[in-house]
Amino acid sequence: MKKTKKRTIMLTGGGSAGHVSVNLALIPRLQEEGWETRYIGSKTGIEKDLISQLDIPYDTVSTGKLRRYFDWQNFKDPFKVMGGVIQAMRLIRREQPEIIFSKGGFVSVPVVIGAWLNRVPVMIHESDLTPGLANKLAMPFATKICTTFPETKEYIKSEKTEYVGAVVRETLKAGDPAKGRKLCGFTKQKPVLLIMGGSLGAKQINETIRHNLDHLLNHYQIVHLCGKGQVDETINKPGYIQFEYLNEALPDVLTMTDLVVSRAGSNSIFEFLALKIPMLLIPLSRQASRGDQILNARSFERLGYAKVMEEEAITDDTFVKAVDQLYTARQQYISNMTHDNAEEPASRIVRLIHELANAG
């Protein structure tokens, strides 16, 4: 009897946890469907650490940072990207995947171009309301572009674009609040406030929390995800615990959380939506970003899922007042989020992957 060759898909995306989380959610589903999964990332990016937990083949390519500002490295990075394209092209030719799935980030650009040169179909998933620079560069080489927000189609204007929604890891919904309280040393007597500044942290949010700890701890127990290298070891107060970030324990912490203060990265806010956690969103300012988080946050605010505070408006008084207002109105936010009946996106993406691979 002739042995059937296993179907192969290569996934890419990196630079931040947000560019990996969707891939982490999709890989187990793809494996259940019989796909052999491989990953292409950078040598030192956060994606390498996150994907290593899944025990799947991980290949690396060279990549540039694609900065929007002047830096002498900008003159070297195009050559790094070109080298990455050659590496990706050889990897793809060797492994012969039927399709590439790209989540974005700088490392994805050479992979997408390498796939196009090998005539392998590419599906890109854009998380933010407006596409990032890496995805903008990669989109001309894509076969299908999936969006998280319906409004994104107005910014891309391509027949290849299809709205699918946000992919959320199923493991997040399986957390145990009792385990979360045990990890943090918390009780059921006070609500839990979770602070998340993203995988790299948020200095102003961290400082504001610490300035107002005594007041906040009168009302809340606080889990503070500070970001890499930003834990303040000098603070030791009952009801307050710091971590750089959480991985395996995150579902347990999220399911015990009553409200969250966070940046407005798309993957995170859709995870809070899936878990019905009222959120105070403090998006990255336009001075520090391209403004995508502001658009994400305002979209959630219009739908009644979140309260939004601009970073420039943060003072000790305005911040504490916003947190208290969010908690007071939490049931209305939960009700608004409960009425979100979006189609399950992960299954839709897996179906589209099958369709593109079969058509390729």
Domain boundaries, the chain: 7-166+343-359, 173-338
What are the strands of the beta sheet with 279-281, ordered from one edge?
240-243, 221-225, 192-196, 259-262, 279-281, 306-308
Query: The domain 7-166+343-359 belongs to what CATH superfamily?
Result: Glycogen Phosphorylase B; (3.40.50.2000)
Determine contact, residues 115/68, Cβ cutoff 8 Å: no
Degrees to nearest 5, angle at CA 306 with 301 and 311: 85
Nearest to 19 by CA among 123, 135, 122, 164: 135
Q: What letter would DSSP give residue 193?
A: E
pLDDT in tens, 189-245: 999 999 997 654 578 899 999 999 999 999 999 999 998 889 999 999 999 999 998
pLDDT in single tens digits along all 360 residues of the chain: 444 567 999 999 998 877 898 999 999 999 999 999 999 999 988 899 889 888 899 999 998 665 454 455 555 677 788 999 999 999 999 999 999 999 988 899 999 999 999 999 999 999 889 898 889 999 999 999 999 998 898 889 889 999 998 888 888 889 999 999 999 999 999 999 999 976 545 788 999 999 999 999 999 999 999 988 899 999 999 999 999 988 889 999 999 999 999 999 888 899 999 999 999 999 987 665 677 899 999 999 999 999 999 988 999 999 999 999 999 999 999 999 987 555 588 889 999 999 999 886
Q: What letter would DSSP give residue 250?
A: H
Is residue 40 helix, strand or coil? Answer: strand
Nearest to 227 by CA among 202, 208, 248, 204: 202
CATH 3.40.50.300 describes domain 173-338: no
Residue 259: beta bridge partners? Answer: 193
**Distance from C-alpha of 152 to C-alpha of 90, rounded to nearest angstrom:** 33
Residue 194: beta bridge partners? Answer: 223, 260
Q: What is the pLDDT of residue 2?
A: 42
Q: What is the pLDDT of residue 58?
A: 96
Residue 10, φ and ψ in degrees, nearest 5:
-110, 135
CA distances from 5 to 8, 35, 89, 97, 350 (A): 9, 10, 22, 11, 19
CA distances from 185 to 91, 192, 222 (A): 48, 12, 11
Q: What is the pLDDT of residue 71?
A: 54
Q: Do domains 7-166+343-359 and 173-338 have the same CATH topology?
A: yes
Structure tokens at 21: 């989380």
Structure tokens at 278: 């009222």
**Distance from C-alpha of 327 to C-alpha of 323, rounded to nearest angstrom:** 6
